[in-house]
A and B are shown apart, each in its own frame.
Chain A
Amino acid sequence: MQSVSFTYPNSAIQILVNDWQVKQGERIFLHGKSGSGKTTLLNLLSGILTPEQGSITVLDQPFSALSESKRDRFRARHIGVVFQQFNLVSHLSVAQNIQLAAHFAGNKSLDNARLPSLLNALQLPLDVLNKKAKQLSVGQQQRVAIARALVNEPEILLVDEPTSALDADARDAFMTLLIELCEAHNTTLIFVSHDAALSDYLTTRVSVEDLFNSMETSSC
């Protein structure tokens, strides 16, 4: 990120990032107080939001300068996202949820063996494939969300507060599994949480307060 600035309309918060670089395969723990702009940063990195000024380059692509449709396609192919809530489309089956991500990435003919191997890696039974997302436990939903994020073998995985609904044991199991998968695929991980205890699982710890040149401005 180079000289990036962003302000939500009618918001008092302005986000400024002078310079931030993440290396391939790095696993970043991004922490900060609620409302400090962590999720906004993920939205900028995933191309959902575009900066008002500055540039964001992802995998050597001037990401923020791409057209919206190209950004959407780039995100589908190269960036996996797991977030805190509403991870899955509730009325679709697990298989359909995962296939949808492949479809948007242009991966129309998802290998039949890919889904079982993904579920196997995430320690999910195969019979969940035909279950509706709403029939799964919270833990299972989070794992399916990871499966969906990884189905296109993205180089970057953005994860936003994924453990907030899990108890301590489930949280540790989830983190171990996530790190193992990222290591196996050399995936760059940017993990956002306000739970400082999770930083032990990641290599680099970044505080949003340090990263952002956040400052209060008057509302328009």
Chain B
Amino acid sequence: MLMSFAISSLKSRGKSLTLTFLSLLISVSVLLSVEHVRLQAQASFNRTVSDVDLIVGAPSGQLNLLLYSVFRMGSPTNSIDYASYTMLQNHPQVSWAIPISLGDSHKGYRVLGTTQAYFEHYKYGNKQPLTFAKGNPFSDTFGTVIGADVAKTLNYKIGDNIVIAHGMGAVSFHNHDESPFTITGILAPTGTPVDKTVHVSLAGIEAMHLPPAQLHALLEHPEEADAQLLKVDSVSAIMLGLTSKFATFTLQRELNNYPDDRLMAILPGVALTEMWQMMSSIENLLRFISLLIMLSSLFGLSTMLLASMQQREKEIAVLRIIGASGGTIFRLILTEALLLSAAASATALLLVFAVFTLTADWLASEYGMFISANVFNLHNLAVIGIILGATLICSLVPAIDAYRGAINQKL
């Protein structure tokens, strides 16, 4: 009965209720969005690469190396000799090595030159290997394997030919039209930047950059191609899996002091942590701003309830005279505040769910952020619990005011 009375009472205050509701809805939505993006981004970052012990690239700072080799963001400032890759391949402490060559794109998606080792050893999430949804790894120079999102967005299937463009832009004026690549495989979704990557062989990268005459000859008689023609000179980075984790620091030091090439080796976990720490100040600032917005909305709710007390003096008198205790009036005000806050929180949850459902693809393609739309989790429920707790505290002032007014109420 108290609940239906509270609902009816709230409904009777249409305009002020609507404005307070909207204010709460916006602030709870902002708070939930920030929290959700923070957790999802952290999970997304942490699941991007797994089981890689070292990433080797040209010296440029570990964040830059991590960003371009794992997240396909930014560009390699320099490359490393292919000889360094072969050295590492044969290194006794290295179990496997994945070369990465970057610099080209296809309709905005990064093209990554690599070897079969990529499909055998690259892992994401909790050491999950890459799997093929359709087809197989490329077996010749002009074969390509595309990520799940590339296939879905561009509606590609096995056997389709694609043209790779020079540079990273979505629109390029320099396309390698003469050397189309044939899709041989489509990877299963991973929720990582792999989904947005076009994978080709290192030889394919070299081939499409050949002078037109040599490229034409290669395309006409691939079996007669001179091995020197497709000789790889350099790669952008190398991912390493070691025979023993204990060798990680020794090999890192060794590579950082490698005399024959300028190399820098980083630990992905350490770089991810540094990257996250760098972002945490922005994250904390966002959370702080969200909390301030939330608090100001709750004070608005408190003010609305407090202002309504004067208008409700007569109503409270009626309730008192028909038997409502001061405690009942106190609980009524708290119930009204909690109802409003709970309704705003539930609506905010649905709103945030709808927004992330609609923008998931855009966030992934524009910012490389794989944000799940599933906001119905324990963390968000805990956040809503805290919001309801804060509502309770902020509503104590009008509730106490109503209680005092009620016990001093006269006919």
Chain A residues in the interface with B (C-beta under 8 A): 39-40, 42-43, 46, 48-49, 68-69, 72-73, 75-77, 81, 83, 85-92, 96, 99-101, 103-105, 108, 148-149, 160
Contact = CB atoms under 8 A, between A and B. Distances in A.
Contacts of B254: none
Interface stretch (B7-15, B104-112, B358-366): B7-15
Contacts of B328: 72, 104
A84 to B, nearest CB: 8
B91 interface: no
A48 B320 contact: yes
12 contacts: A43-B410, A68-B326, A72-B323, A72-B324, A75-B321, A76-B322, A81-B411, A88-B318, A91-B11, A101-B323, A104-B324, A105-B323
Interface of B: 1, 4-5, 8-9, 11-12, 314-315, 317-328, 407, 409-411
A69 B11 contact: no
B99 to A, nearest CB: 73
B61 to A, nearest CB: 65
Contacts of A91: 8-9, 11-12
Given A43-B410, A81-B411, 12 more contacts: A39-B410, A68-B326, A69-B325, A72-B325, A75-B323, A81-B321, A83-B411, A85-B314, A86-B317, A100-B1, A100-B322, A104-B328
Contacts of A89: 5, 315, 318-319
A92 B324 CA distance: 16
A83 B407 CA distance: 18
B410 A49 contact: yes
A86 B11 contact: no
Given A73-B323, A88-B318, A42 B1 contact: no
A108 B2 CA distance: 12
Contacts of A87: 318
Contacts of B325: 68-69, 72-73
Contacts of B324: 72, 104
A42 B409 CA distance: 13
Contacts of B320: 48, 72
Contacts of A103: 1
Nearest to A88: B318
B323 A96 contact: no
B375 to A, nearest CB: 34
Given A48-B320, A75-B323, A81-B322, A96 B315 contact: no
Nearest to B321: A81
A160 B410 CA distance: 12
B5 A100 contact: yes
A193 B291 CA distance: 56
A81 to B, nearest CB: 5
B321 A68 contact: no
B359 to A, nearest CB: 40
Contact of A43 (B4, B8, B411): B411
Contacts of B326: 68, 72
10 residue pairs, one from A and one from B, having the closest CB atoms: A76-B323, A104-B323, A91-B12, A86-B314, A72-B325, A101-B322, A103-B1, A81-B321, A69-B325, A39-B411
Contacts of A81: 321-322, 411
A46 B321 contact: yes
Contact of B8 (A46, A96, A104): A96
Contacts of B1: 99-100, 103, 108
A98 B320 CA distance: 14
A92 B410 contact: no
A148 B322 CA distance: 8
A118 to B, nearest CB: 15
A92 B314 CA distance: 14
A69 B324 CA distance: 9
A96 B410 CA distance: 23
A39 B321 CA distance: 13
A76 B1 CA distance: 15
A129 to B, nearest CB: 15
